[in-house]
Structures are given as C-alpha cells and as structure tokens.
Amino acid sequence: MQITDVNLTLNLNFFVNIAISVAVSLGVGGVFYWLIKNIITEKIRQAIKSEYDIKLESHKIELTSKSNIEIERLRSDLSRAASENNIVFAHLHEKRADVIANIYSTLKNVHHQLYNYVKGIEFSGEPSKEDRSKLLADAHKEFFDIYTKKLIFVPAFIAAKIDEINAMMVRTGNEFTYVVLNDQNPERMKKWVEVEERCSGPIKDALTDLEVEFRRLLGDKME
C-alpha cells in the first residue's frame, strides 16, 4: 500500500512537472511570439515610413524644382513684358511731347497774331490790318488742323482748356472785326479796349496755365 502511494505520488509529480513545463513553454512561446510580432511589425512600419519619407521628400524636391522653373519663367515673361511696355510707353511719351509742343506753339502763335490784329497802337512799316487779319486766319487754321488731328494724344481736361482758350480768341477776333472796325458802331471804342484787355489779360493767363499743365503732363516737377 505504501509502495503504491509512493509510485502514485511520483507519477503525479511527473505529470505536474510536465504540465508545468508545458505551461511554462507555452507561456514563454506566447511571450516570444508577441515580442517577435511586435518587432517585425515595428520594422515594417519603420520601413514603410522610411520609404514614404523618401518618396515624399523626392516629391517635394520635384515640386520645388518645377515651381522654381515656373517662377523663373514667369519672372522672365514679366521682365520681357515690362521691357516691352517701357519701350511702348517711352515711344508714346515722346510722341505726346511732340504733339503737345506743336499744339502749344501753334496756339501761342494764334494769340500772337490776334494781339497784333487788335492792338490799339500801330507802327509804320507794319502789315496792314487786312494783312494782319490774314496772318491771324492762317495761324488759326494751322493750329486747328494740328489740334483736331492729334487730339487723341491730349488728355480730356487739357483739351477742355484748349477749347476754352480757342473760343475766347475766336470771339475776340470776331468782336474786333465786326464791332471795332465798324465805324458806324457807337460801342466800337469801348469794345476795342475790352478786346485788347482780354487778349493781354485772361487769354494770356489761360495760356500760361495751359503751359503749366503741359509741363506737368510731360513729367516736369513744378516747384
């Protein structure tokens, strides 16, 4: 009876030890599997991330390169366009300067001929009133021909000033011709003084103001 109990105890201990060994083996294997799995997963994740980072950086470099090329191309196009615009602007500015010079000089000549026509004091050897009238008519025609053909180069507000000056001079010349030179008109002497003062006053002042506007238009900084 005792021998049997001893054998049974030994057998039980053997199976218990085996069970414990199996359990330990299974436990260690599970832990090892978990560790290996995590290590492999982490390696894969790092490899994927590394490959993604490389591709992303390569893509960034490619985009930056393309962007720089486009920027340089745009900068070149803008520079070329600016250069072309500067050439066009310089040409237009030069053309406008010539037009303004011609318009102003012919308008001043009209005023000069008008003053000679209406002035109250005459000197010997001067052209007659008929001749001075013709000189005035020729001067006005020259101005009007240039002005109407080149009006597009003149800003609207300056054109309005020119029209106003021209209207004053035409009215002054007509008043002198049809009132002052009419010996039968009792108002002729009064009108003579009026047209002469207008010619040497308001018309002259308006021409001076026009000159200032022309200079500003051409870039002259008036101080």
**pLDDT (tens digit per residue) in 157-173:** 999 999 999 999 999 99
174-185 pLDDT, tens per residue? 999 999 999 999
Q: Which residues of the chain have pLDDT under 70?
A: 1-37, 40, 67, 70-71, 74-90, 221-223
Chain Cα centroid distance, residue 42: 59
Please provide the CATH number assigned to the domain covering 90-217.
1.20.120
Alpha-carbon torsion 55, 60, 65, 69, what sign? positive
Whether pTM exceeds 0.85: no
The predicted structure's pLDDT at residue 2: 44
Taking phi over 0 as left and psi of -120 to 50 as alpha, with beta for the rest, 124 belongs to beta
Q: Which residue has the tokens 């920027």?
A: 71
Residues 6+ apart with CB under 8 A from 214: 100, 104, 158
- Domain map of the chain by residue range? 90-217
Do 109 and 143 contact (CB within 8 A), yes or no? yes
